[in-house]
Amino acid sequence: MAAKKGLKTFTELDAYKQLKILSKNPLDLTKEDVLTPERIQNMSASALNFQLLYGSERVTEEVLEALEALGRETCAVTKMKSCQAGDVINKIEGFESEDRQVLHTAMRDFFDHPQVSKPALEAAKLAKTECDKLDDFLKKLDDNNLFTDLIQVGIGGSDLGPRALYLALQAYKRKDRRVHFISNVDPDDAACVLKDLDLSKTAVVVVSKSGTTLETLTNEALVRSYFVKAGLDPNKHFIAVTGKGSPMDDPSRYLSSFYIWDYIGGRYSVTSMVGGVMLAFGLGFDNYYEILRGAHAMDQNALQTRMRDNLPLLAALLGIWNRNFLGHATLAIIPYSQALVRFTAHLQQCDMESNGKHVDKLGQLVNFETGPIVWGEPGTNGQHSFYQMIHQGTTIVPLEFVGFKESQYGQDLLVQGTTCQQKLLSNLFAQSIALAIGQKSDNPNKQFLGNRPNRILLAEKLTPFTMGQLLSFYENKVAFQGFIWNINSFDQEGVQLGKVLANKILAIFASQNSRASVEAFPAGAALIHALDKLK
């Protein structure tokens, strides 16, 4: 497919052509003397007390040089600088699109003001204002001992990222505070959360940038009804996180309102007030700030021009090698940390909603594969679940492992000569090696073909600062892949069609006897009719 305006498409790039040649004969990790200590040592990158070990990927120095050339040819770092500076990059040329800045990085860019561009500085100033407002608000709550519990009501990016980070940092939570989450419009979700709470000591933060998200508004109405039944005034318990001027920006209905802006995408919103109100309430404001500082530090690393100094860029290019040149459709992200139990769920949205696109930024259909299918669970649990398929199945699944040298709580025990944390890391390292080199055997049932590409991201300990770094690492990795593919990672048109059709079906539910509604969407009416057959 020829590019418009004289620009090369991804498959027309010189580096793409070189990588295509190299992919015809990829490195065989199962050969003796390939995965050596020297290779593991040499194929590692360090920054900000993180190490990315990629010797178990099917790459050679020649492949790495070609991948770095791909990053240069697509101006990946320049595009990242443009993004962080506040240029309008959320757009499709020549077609109706959101046409916005992408400035989630500005939500944590007010510590040393590295960005000199006016848009980024203004966004950072607004973010700092909201943080200061939140700090004052929480101090008043403390002074009056108003609430012990908080419920976050939101869906998608208003739930997945905030929930993942809160669960990841339970070791640092305030002992006098509890946080709960309601996201699914299934009424059982709310009922389960609310059944044991003292609502008189409970606050509710409702998160919707537009102030019109159907599931969130429905859940808000449901939760408000519980407060009314308990003889409480919901307006004295509810907090809004929304866009300024939205239908939810209403001081008569909310104890306080905190703002987010249209240049903050939902899946990139954790470090904004979307996650900030809940995280600062549950973990303490200082720990929330540490998350911001960590994310900011990794944002700066994403601006490094040399691939091996830029951890998100290196990971992005290794992922592109696996996706576009070795032909692997999925990616398993496996944290060897129970605290990160919901982090992969957040990364599913971050990656798949960002890069699950079939048109490029010129509006033309792509002729290559874009974002992978992302999934995973914490290790070692996964080893006793789906690793059988990963090791011996017919579909090769690349893996990204995440591990930590130390546990969060430090509560460990020496059992049979090693600690629990050492056993955890031993499993991580063993899986990485086993997937790469496999095992030869005369018994076909005990044969492992190997050449399952994987890499390991290591840090010392999962702290609020490290969590911010890890969040930013993945946000920037996903963005880099979009820059290189020249797709728009910052819109989500793919979620809109289902919403439109759901509203049509709701109209039928709302007026079962309305012939006009049925005739407007007969397929939806037929599905509703199936309910009548249930006893």
Count other C-beta atoms under 10 Å from residue 7's C-beta: 13
Catalytically annotated residue among 98, 353, 400, 475: 353
Buried b (16+ CB within 10 A) or exposed e, 413-422: eeeeeeeebe
Q: What is residue 149's predicted lDDT score, i.e. its pLDDT? A: 98
Break the chain into its structural domains and give their ranges: 11-73+304-407+414-486, 104-294, 494-531
The model carries a pTM of 0.94
CA angle at 447 for the pair 446 and 453, rounded to the nearest 5°: 125
CATH number for the domain whose boundaries are 11-73+304-407+414-486:
3.40.50.10490
Confidence at residue 527, expressed as pLDDT on a 0 to 100 scale: 74
State pLDDT tens for residues 366-411: 999 999 999 999 999 999 999 999 999 999 999 999 999 999 999 9
Annotated catalytic residue, options 17, 139, 244, 499 = 499
| 519: confidence class by pLDDT, cuts 50, 70, 90 | low
Would the pLDDT of 415 be above 60? yes
pLDDT classification of 517: cutoffs 50, 70, 90:
low
Partner residues linked to 439 by β-bridges: 448
- Assess whether pLDDT exceeds 90 at residue 114: no
Residue 499: what pLDDT?
81
Active site residue 384: yes
Catalytic residue among 24, 229, 384, 535: 384
Q: What is the mean pLDDT of residues 94-106?
A: 95
Residues of the chain above pLDDT 70, percent? 96
The whole-chain average pLDDT of the chain stands at: 94
The residue with greater pLDDT, 255 or 498, is 255
- Separation CA 521–CA 503 (nearest Å): 10
Q: pLDDT per residue over 3-35, tens digit each?
A: 555 689 999 999 999 999 999 999 999 999 999
Q: What is the mean pLDDT of residues 297-316?
A: 98
- Looking at the domain covering 104-294, what would its CATH class be? alpha beta
Name which of 225-234, 389-398, 501-510 the model is least confident about: 501-510
What would you report as the CA-atom Rg of the chain, rounded to the nearest whole angstrom? 25
Closest residue by Cα to residue 161 from 402, 351, 370: 351
- In which band, very low, low, confident or very high, does the pLDDT at 510 lie, cut at 50, 70 and 90? confident
> Is residue 499 annotated as a catalytic residue, yes or no?
yes
Round to whole Å and give the CA distance between 370 and 358.
Answer: 7
- The residue among 495 and 224 whose pLDDT is bigger is 224
pLDDT of amino acid 5:
55
Cα dist. 183→61, 148, 219 in Å? 46, 20, 8
Q: How far apart, in Å, are the Cα atoms of 231 and each of 146, 223, 224, 234, 500? A: 17, 13, 11, 9, 37
Mean pLDDT of 230-256: 97
In this chain, the answer to whether the domains covering 11-73+304-407+414-486 and 104-294 adopt an identical fold is: yes
Is the model's pLDDT at 496 over the cut of 90? Answer: no
Question: How confident is the model over 462-472, as pLDDT tens digits?
Answer: 999 999 999 99
Judged against a pLDDT cut of 60, whether residue 535 lies above it is answered with: no
